[in-house]
A and B are shown apart, each in its own frame.
Chain A
Amino acid sequence: RKEVEQDPGPFNVPEGATVAFNCTYSNSASQSFFWYRQDCRKEPKLLMSVYSSGNEDGRFTAQLNRASQYISLLIRDSKLSDSATYLCVVNGGSYIPTFGRGTSLIVHP
């Protein structure tokens, strides 16, 4: 089993749609969790951290379920500019970051 697994993509949605990505991790000792966004041939950029209480940043909501070792990202009112690959990142006990494969999102008009 891979350490960090994400939904297979691509997700192809119309503008204005709500889309959710899931990520599961295998290391129960993982300390911190993040979602990154990566555009084609660009470096990943931090989208948001993920907290146990759940957190929201504008149209983006992240949730963490430690019991199920599960992280989610919800995007509301999708924009064309949201098209990208979304990476789930989990920091282990020694803060070595482990990346998921990424989920590709395509938002079309």
Chain B
Amino acid sequence: GAVVSQHPSWVICKSGTSVKIECRSLDFQATTMFWYRQFPKQSLMLMATSNEGSKATYEQGVEKDKFLINHASLTLSTLTVTSAHPEDSSFYICSARDGTGEKLFFGSGTQLSVL
């Protein structure tokens, strides 16, 4: 199946700093990628849809100025958590559709801990 690489796997940072998470499709071109957040024992929550070459579409309640998404190429999308706070601590996962446009393949996730 398609491979999606996500880095870093985990990050610990101080409150107020910014953290960048990368998501790459390794063997296919992804015009659309999705960014999710998951709190412990809760479901995946879609944060935004990242579209190559255009602005991301954010879900209601997600601050676009805090969660900056850039999808500059067909194989790379980045999520930057700006001025991180402890309540931003969560598991962040990206995903991309394969060539059929139906199936989703996920990155391995990033566990963010803000102190």
* Residues of A near any B CB (own CB < 8 A): 31-32, 34, 36, 41-46, 49, 87, 89, 91, 95-102
- A96 and B49 form a contact (CB under 8 A): yes
Q: How many A-B residue pairs have CB under 8 A?
A: 48
Q: Are A95 and B102 in contact (CB under 8 A)?
A: yes
Closest partner residue, chain B, to A96 (CB atom): B49
Interface residue count on the B side (C-beta < 8 Å): 22
| B101: A residues at CB distance < 8 A | 95
Report whether B103 and A41 are in contact in the complex, using a CB–CB cutoff of 8 Å.
no
Which of B42, B43, B108 lies in contact with A43, CB distance below 8 A?
Answer: B108
Among A31, A32, A43, A91: residue with most chain B CB under 10 A: A43
Additional A-B contacts beyond A41-B109, A87-B44 (7; CB < 8 A) = A34-B103, A34-B104, A43-B108, A44-B104, A49-B103, A95-B102, A99-B43
Interface residues in chain B, defined as those with a beta carbon under 8 Å from any beta carbon in chain A: 1, 6, 34, 42-44, 46, 49, 91, 93, 95, 97, 101-109, 111
Whether A97 touches B109, Cβ cut-off 8 Å, given contacts A41-B91, A87-B44, is no
In the complex, which of the residues A31, A42, A102 contacts B43, with contact meaning CB atoms closer than 8 Å?
Answer: A102
Contact A46 B43 (CB under 8 A): no
Across-interface contacts of B93 in A (CB, < 8 A):
43-44
Cβ-defined contact, A97 with B34, below 8 A: yes
Contact B103 A46 (CB under 8 A): yes
- Evaluate contact between B104 and A43: CB separation under 8 angstroms: no
